[in-house]
Amino acid sequence: MSNDSLAVSHETEAMRHTGGPHIRVPQQQPKPSLAAKEHAVQIAAVGVEKIYHKGDTDIPVLRGVDLDVQQGEFLSIIGQSGSGKSTLLHLLGTLDAPDAGEVHFGGNRIDNLPSSSRDILRNRHIGMVFQFYHLLPELTLLENVLTPLLIGQGIWRYWRQRRKNTQAAKELIEMVGLSHRIKHKPRELSGGEMQRAAIARALIAQPEVLLADEPTGNLDKHTGKEIMAILRTLNVEKNLTIVMVTHDGAIAEQADRVIRLVDGRVARA
Ligand code: ADP
Ligand code: MG
């Protein structure tokens, strides 16, 4: 299937203004019927290999990872430190490219898209959260959550839609339980609150998939549980597909399915 068939839709405002490439990426797809949904693969790795190079040394990390994640599934990937979990998640999110194999999203190959198309894909269709939150320190919680919309819509469209955007951000912030913190800067938030904010930011553009890299890794047990509860609620209520990486077995087993990375390949957990 050609990449053109990546359900092409709106180019960004910025692109219209700059006359940049008219890249089209998947729009939110109509909700499939339940029967179809059960079998729809949302994101997949096919024979994915990754080798890092350090000086003259090759470090093979992924040696042929095959993985299908179904639409609406909550999958966790477990493995020892250094087993390649973050590497795999980055490849699924097109932050990096595999040395061999392919990554598919909604049935289309995405690892070989031009970087501008991958940017759009990540902006609108694949949300990400990380262990250390990566919030912008100078922005308030509300502004942090709005950032992907500003980037995705471009300044003019963002400004025209600012009320709608702010409303959407506030709803998400309420959903993660932070309505009383919207004007706070990240340094005024606890770890759990920062992760909630990062989750709201990851979801503001209504992506189909959330990729989470050790989202509870820097949090105490109780706060970690709260984050897991939020992820589960989003999975159930928004039919969000979640791929979560963790080294913590107790966290991993709260997902629908657990796979383990061993020697650069998927083993049954
Ligand atoms: P995990 O997330 O499971 O702890 P990573 O995917 O971060 O593992 O890393 C897998 C292996 O690849 C580790 O041995 C790590 O040191 C190595 N690695 C990761 N990123 C790089 C890089 N940019 N350059 C060289 N080696 C790397
Ligand atoms: Mg890691």
pTM over 0.75: yes
% residues pLDDT > 90 (the chain)? 85
Ligand closest to 82 (CA) is 1
Give the position, in ligand 1's atom list, of the atom nearest the Cα of 261: 3
Which of 49, 50, 51, 52 gets mutated to test ligand 1 (max ligand atoms within 8 A of its CB)? 52
Q: 81 in ligand 1 pocket by Cβ < 6 Å?
A: yes
What pLDDT digit, counting tens, does each position of 3-62 carry? 443 433 333 333 334 333 344 444 545 544 544 445 699 999 999 999 999 999 999 999
What pLDDT digit, counting tens, does each position of 221-240 carry? 999 999 999 999 999 999 99
Mean pLDDT of the region 98-103? 98
Whether 194 and 135 have beta carbons less than 8 Å apart is answered as yes
Domain 3-268, architecture per CATH: 3-Layer(aba) Sandwich (3.40)
Q: In the predicted model, what is the mean pLDDT of the chain? A: 88
Q: How far is CA 219 from the centre of its chain?
A: 20
- In single-letter form, the type of residue at position 148 comes to P
Whether 151 has a pLDDT exceeding 80, the answer reads yes
Give residue limits of the domains in the chain. 3-268
Residues 6+ apart with CB under 8 A from 97: 91, 111, 112
Measure 247 CA to ligand 1 centroid, in angstroms: 14
State the residue for tokens 């709106």: 10
Report d(CA 216, CA 225) in Å as an integer. Answer: 8
Angle (CA) 175-179-185 rounded to 5° is 115
